[in-house]
Structure 1
Amino acid sequence: MGETIVLYPSPLRGHIVAMFELGRLIHKHHPRLSIIIILSSASNAAAAPAAAANSASITVLHLPSAATEHDETPFDFARRDTSNLRLALVAITAAADLRALVVDVFSDAAFPVAAALGIPTYYFFTSGAVALAVFLHFPTLHGSTTKGFKELGDEIVKIPGLPPIKALEMPTGMLNRGGRFYGYFLDACRNMISSSGIIVNTCESLETRIIRTIKEGSCVPDFPTPPIFTVGPLVESKVDGDDKDGGDERERRHECLSWLDSQPSLSIVFLCFGSEGRFSAAQLKEMASGLERSGVRFLWVVRPPPQDESAKSTSAWKDDDDTSLEKFLPEGFLERTRERGMVVNSWAPQIQVLSHGSVGGFVTHCGWNSTIEAVRAGVPMVAWPLYAEQKVNRNFLVEEAALALPLSMSGEDRFVSADELAKRVTDLMTGSGEGKAVRERVLAARDGVLEALSDGGSSRVSLAAVVALWKRG
């Protein structure tokens, strides 16, 4: 099999997709390396892009099922798979020249397994350098206080290279010092610092100052910072038939894009909040009112409120039943806005939508995949972070890079009023004031990203550098 690299993502769909894109990238530019992707027993096979799974350039191995427990996290999945992972790595080592194992944060349990086998381990950080700075500095922050970030509340946390951030805006899993996720993240961050290198899904032009700060060692004051390789941003490749939601979604996809075909250039604001982004029934109604007041053309992906909020009303919700949307929107909203708006149930083909010529703005939860998809398409944003590391990303997008407009939020549930949403959407889409500046900055960022990804660009040079380490062994 020759020189081989093993990639081991967590079972989360976004992490699987990102790891497949990394595998594609490596093979495209360094075809002599064999790529094996090992999928956790908890991974949904449908999440693996069909084109990669069927490609002769990438071998996919599925770990056998292991005993499960109630309420497991992605970290737990990786921990219970360690025995089977070890057997797989031993078998690969016997048949090939295994040069490196690449894991992500949630498959961190593989780190001690690989170390015991003498396999160099690299981390593929699927988010950007802004979140990486937080993760690398997390052990230092942990040692500087006995309080959790949730307890610290609105106190400012200082992280080298980042704009000031409130303690409550740290990544969700790090907030509760006594929580299970907190300990998992702490272990993962310490292992990452001890790894052979970190591959990051970003490029130097997009996060210049933060990347420089990390490489200088400021985020890890007590230990050497591992080599950092910025090889992105990597966006999911779309292949016909490769859809996570099956045939019904493919039909909806065509309908959505056909509707966009009929709209004026750069006239549509797209609202989409990821696969886990859900709002209360009250917030959905407020959002609808804001869009109606704005007068702006829109494409809005709506997911039902959490089941535990209004079980009675959501029990009738069906993913393939568009009429259910009316249960959560103001009476008559769909009819009043049908000439300038389209509401889509639960899912839309985000990459294709953002790349469409009629889309001129994006209201986003600030997930990193969504962020880089918008930047690569040159679409300015309104930042509405919800969970995970999204508030950290929001601070970067608004305060550091000026690629997004902020939203004012109130209360513990971070409620956004109809007037606030209408104002920000209007500012973005009319190109007045801050909206014009953000649009110009995004277009410049897009050009920088495209240059980084071109032959001889910084991301290609960085990829060649990490491959050189693997070949050197």
Structure 2
Amino acid sequence: MAMVTQKTVVLYPSLGVGHLNPMVELAKVFLRRGLSVVIAVVDSPDAMDRLAAANPDINFRRLPVPPCGKDHYSHPIMRTIDVLRVVNPALRDFLRALPAVAALVVDMFCTDALDVAAELDIPAYFFFTSALGDLAIMLHLPYIFPTAPSSFKDMPETVLHFPGVPPIRAMDMATTMQDRESDIARARLHQCARMPEARGFIVNSFDWLEARALKALRYGFCTHGRSTPPVYCIGPLVLPGNTGGSGERHACLVWLDSQPNRSVVFLSFGSMGIFSAAQLREIARGLENSGHRFLWVVRNPPEHQSKPMEPDFVAFLPLGFLERTKERGFVVKNWAPQMEVLRHDAVGAFVTHCGWNSALEGILSGVPMICWPLYSEQRMNKVHMVEEMKVGVVMEGYEEMVKAEEVEAKVRLVMESDEGRKLSERLVMAKEMAADALKEGRSSDVAFNEFLGDLGIRISQRSAS
């Protein structure tokens, strides 16, 4: 067993289950080292109760949220920032009540918590759950954002240069930073400028995948002479697969069992991946014309969101599409067990919105990706995935409307061409390197132990996983 310590690591996620889930996975890494972990939760009481029941070894504590004094916000993240600011006194009281806190680990929106950590003399670290390349961009953004000739939205084709990452068009920067006169852009820029105040960055990536960004960060190229805190790449950590809670295999997995190896294109766009009815029809026509097998997760388009949750495919898919493709296609309503699908031998390509967790799942499964970013930092991830990591190709037209001909062309490219074969070979290597990074004594394991060493915690032996 690992050496037991009385010190506790406090994990502090931002609002929402999407931020809470990755912290739970990080908590499991600490537990495997025999360390005590507490997750301080500001929001998501239902999710907290569910996760607490599923993870009895993790201690969850809910922090009270006082009134923020505002009813309307210009952007949802502005409310998040406001809530996290007013919770600081509760966080301070909570940390003071604990007997020995080794570190406070926060996510990227919790920069106000740095003030509490500094006041209590507790080492504070960021757990960065997106690409390492995104961190390189965010740390460098305060140096180029104010000097840009205009807002990014007004110079969409202008190519920007950041240390350690490929050139990136202004239109592919994070959606929150597109209008520099907006409240959200100012707030996020302020947060980016404060991030180097942390003791270090724990990042859900691994050395081999983003070696150039890691070098730029470690050599201080992203912060213009200001010292950059240490970066610990401990990934890939992904959310565990599940079957939706029923205990039975999802019907789509049963369907995949009857398909040939590497023959199915899987299309899934995250929990917020909603397309217009016109775009859904273009996708359908492209899939049909490609001639390839497909598994497609579909949600109601915006114009149908007021209707029942179950999508009515007849209302927005091309007439007769389901009947014509029933021998080689499977359309799923709303949700599919993504990790199980990607790991299935029948899946040969993944059309993804480029959320970082989905990207890592594709890499861990060795599945080539067709990148169709939708919002947030996903366009930046697309650049990293296509230009730097070379684990996918881009679906052109994502800025407005992807045509059926483009869907067909990219499906055929990945599934039929020499370029697609080379991409598959690259993913085989990426899968092997991802698995290797997590092994004892390899890069991500070593990085985590270096992080613990920075805290003065020495682990004599890894506990059993």
TM-score by length of 2: 0.92
- The residue number in structure 2 matching 1:326 is 314
Q: Which runs of 5+ in 2 are unaligned?
A: 459-465
Quote the Cα distance in structure 1 between the aligned partners of 2:20 and 2:133.
21
Out of 184-193 and 162-171, give the one that drifted further. 184-193
Q: 1:173 to 1:2 in 2, by over 3 A?
A: same
Q: 1:88 to 1:170 in 2, by over 3 A?
A: closer
1:441 aligns with 2:455: no
Deviation at 1:117, TM superposition (A): 2.3
Q: How far 1:92 moved relative to its partner? A: 3.7
Give, in whole Å, the separation in 2 of the partners of 1:25 and 1:49. Answer: 20
1:371 to 344, 359, 372: 359
1:242-257 map, 5 Å: 243=244, 254-257=250-253
Matched, 1:390 2:378: yes
Deviations 1:308-354 (A, max 9, x none): xx3xx4433x22x35x1221200111111111111111111111111
Give 1:66's aligned residue: 66
On the 8 A contact 2:140/2:223 being kept in 1, the answer is yes
Q: 1:283 aligns with which of 279, 290, 297?
A: 279
Aligned amino acid, residue 291 of structure 1: L
Q: What is the CA–CA distance in structure 2 between the aligned matches of 1:112 and 1:152, rounded to whole Å?
A: 36
Moved more, 117-126 or 226-235: 117-126
Match of 1:405 in 2: 393
Whether contact under 8 Å (2:114, 2:197) holds in the other structure is no
Question: Distance between the aligned counterparts of 2:453 and 2:314, measured in 1?
Answer: 56
Displacement, 1:382?
A: 0.7
Q: What CA distance in whole angstroms lies between the structure 2 residues aligned with 1:283 and 1:228?
A: 40
Q: Does 1:40 align with 2:42?
A: yes
CA distance in 2, matches of 1:286, 1:441: 29
* Amino acid of the structure 1 residue aligned with 2:286: G
**Cα–Cα, structure 1 residues 38 and 170, in superposed 2: closer, same or farther, change >3 Å?**
same
Deviation at 1:425, TM superposition (A): 0.5
Structure 1 residue corresponding to 2:179, chosen from 176, 181, 195:
176
Distance 1:144 1:222 in 2: 18
Q: How does 1:34-433 map to 2 (within 5 A)?
A: 34-41=36-43, 43-46=44-47, 50=51, 53-67=53-67, 69-71=71-73, 73-145=76-148, 147-238=150-241, 243=244, 254-306=250-302, 310=303, 313-316=304-307, 318-319=308-309, 321-322=310-311, 324-409=312-397, 413-430=399-416, 432-433=417-418
Which amino acid is the alignment partner of residue 397 of structure 2? M
Change (3 A) 1:397 1:283: same
Alpha-carbon distance in structure 2 between the residues aligned to 1:64 and 1:91: 10
- Whether the 8 Å contact between 1:79 and 1:109 is mirrored in structure 2 is no
Larger mean Cα displacement after TM superposition, 79-88 or 197-206: 79-88
Unaligned runs of 5+ in 1: none
Match of 1:10 in 2: 14
Taking a change above 3 Å as real, the CA distance of residues 44 and 435 of structure 1, as seen in their structure-2 partners, is farther
User: C-alpha distance in 1, partners of 2:11/2:78?
Assistant: 16
> For residues 54-103 of structure 1, what are the alpha-carbon distances to aligned partners after superposition, in whole Å with 9 as ceiling and x for unaligned?
53431101122432533463453353344544334434433321111111
Distance 1:158 1:445, change over 3 A: same
Could you tell me how far apart the structure 1 residues matched to 2:45 and 2:322 are?
35
Partner SS, residue 282 of structure 1: helix
Secondary structure at the aligned position of 2:118 is classed as: helix
Does the 8 A contact of 1:75 with 1:109 survive in 2? Answer: no
User: The residue matched to 1:292 in structure 2 has which SS?
Assistant: helix
Return the offset for 1:17. 1.0
Whole-Å separation in 1 of the counterparts to 2:426 and 2:175: 29
Q: Say if 1:353 and 1:359, in contact at 8 Å, map to a contact too.
A: yes
Could you say which residue in structure 2 is the equivalent of 1:24? 28
Looking at structure 2, the residues matched to 223 and 101 of structure 1 have their Cα atoms a distance apart, in angstroms, of 23
Using a 3 Å threshold, how does the CA distance of structure 1 residues 16 and 196 change in structure 2: closer, same or farther?
same
Contact 1:11 1:74 in 2 (8 A): no
Paired residue type of 2:11: L
Residues 331 and 66 of structure 1, relative CA distance in 2, 3 Å threshold = farther
Give 2:46's aligned amino acid.
A
- Provide the identity percentage: 41
Q: Is the 8 A contact 1:403 1:438 kept in 2?
A: yes
- SS of residue in 1 equivalent to 2:286: helix
- When residues 48 and 330 of structure 1 are mapped into structure 2, their CA distance, relative to the original with a 3 A threshold, is farther
